[in-house]
Each structure stands twice: as C-alpha cells, then as structure tokens.
Amino acid sequence: MSTPEDCLFCKIIAGEIPSTKLYEDDRVLAFRDVHPQAPLHALIVPKRHVATLDDFDADDAALVGHLLLAAKKLAAEQGLPGYRVSMNVQRAGGQVIFHVHLHVLGGRPLKAELG
C-alpha cells in the first residue's frame, strides 16, 4: 500500500507530476489516463489520500457520492452520450495504484461486461 509521500496520484494532485487535467474542484481531481482504453479514459481521484474503497467509512459518504457526481459532471462536460464508471478494489480486484480512483470511459460504444 502506498502512503501520501510515495503515492503517484498524490504527486499528480500536488503538481509534482504533470497530468492532463479534465476537471477539478476542492475535493477531487480528474485527469486523462496515460494508458487509455477508450477515446476518453479519465481517472477521478479524491484529493485526500485514501488507499482503497475498503478504507472509507460512513463518515466518508459525502466524498464517495461526490466522486460519482464528479464523474457525471465530467461526462456531461465531455459531451458523452453514455459512459462507464468503474473502480478496482484491492490487488485481487485489479487495483494497481493504491489511491482510490474512478475510471470514466466513453467516446465510443462500450460493450457490456458480464461476469
């Protein structure tokens, strides 16, 4: 697990590593994924370091909701008629960077992913 001091996304938030910002407010930052899987592939991260979804508690409900509303706003600003929002949780769930982040994908028809 990463700490804020060695976290890639914390460094992006701090401006130490460049990114292509797509949206920002006082609680979250959205930027383009460097390995896009769709014409628009953004990552939305809370500005506060939280390693995984499992580290949120009931006091974080407003921030969790804000992440989803930021995805909605970003998709609207980008003119997406439809989009996918996903989050990988823990290493076994595909999480690679241990700072909570939503993936927002769109800009082309997306196939349904069924188990």
Q: What is the pLDDT of residue 114?
A: 63
Backbone angles phi, psi at 89, to 5 degrees: -125, 120
Q: Largest alpha-carbon pair distance within the chain?
A: 39
- Are 83 and 14 a contacting pair, CB within 8 Å? no
Residue tagged active-site, from 49, 99, 101, 103: 101
Instruction: Reply yes or no on whether 101 is catalytic.
Output: yes
Measure the CA–CA gap between 33 and 86, rounded to whole angstroms: 13
With the C-alpha atoms ordered 86, 89, 93, 97, is the resulting torsion angle positive or negative?
A: positive
Could you tell me the CATH superfamily of domain 8-106?
A: HIT-like (3.30.428.10)
Dihedral (Cα; 112, 105, 38, 24), 10-degree rounding: 180
Summarize the confidence of residues 14-18 as an average pLDDT.
97
Mean pLDDT for the chain overall: 95
pTM of the model: 0.93
Summarize the confidence of residues 99-108 as an average pLDDT.
97
Summarize the confidence of residues 19-38 as an average pLDDT.
97
What is the domain partition of the chain in residue ranges?
8-106
